[in-house]
Structure 1
Amino acid sequence: MEDINGLPATGYLRLRDILGPKGPIPVSKSTWWAGVKDGRFPQPIKLGSRITVWRVEDIRALIDHGPN
């Protein structure tokens, strides 16, 4: 089941599913990673050496409440 932003109810998202134009967060990759580094955006979870994901719940909170 998806919400208005096209996000699944639970699970994990890859960066391509988070950032625009496909995703709900309209920032560049460099802005996103700078925000992760300084704590404005949620911390990622490493599933493997080349697989980085974010919890859907963290992305929903970012959309609902804005950056920290």
Structure 2
Amino acid sequence: MAAFPVGGLLPSSFRHMCTEMIRYMNESEDTRASTEALHSLGRRVGGRLIERLSLSQHPSVFPYDK
């Protein structure tokens, strides 16, 4: 499986937001808030990666979406 350069797919402002979210989670004593923040971040990252990948350039990423 080919590795995708995730850092290259995400703008620096998005990487900065991820870093700030992780810092907040490390400092937070509220486990539920940290878990919800992590899930939200995961959905954002996943959505951004799907937007950035072109199916015509990477047909093996979603082979059943034809």
Structure 1 or 2: larger strand share?
1
Q: If the length of structure 2 is used for normalisation, what is the TM-score?
A: 0.25
Q: If the length of structure 1 is used for normalisation, what is the TM-score?
A: 0.24
Q: Rg bigger for which structure? A: 2
Structure 1 or 2: larger helix share?
2
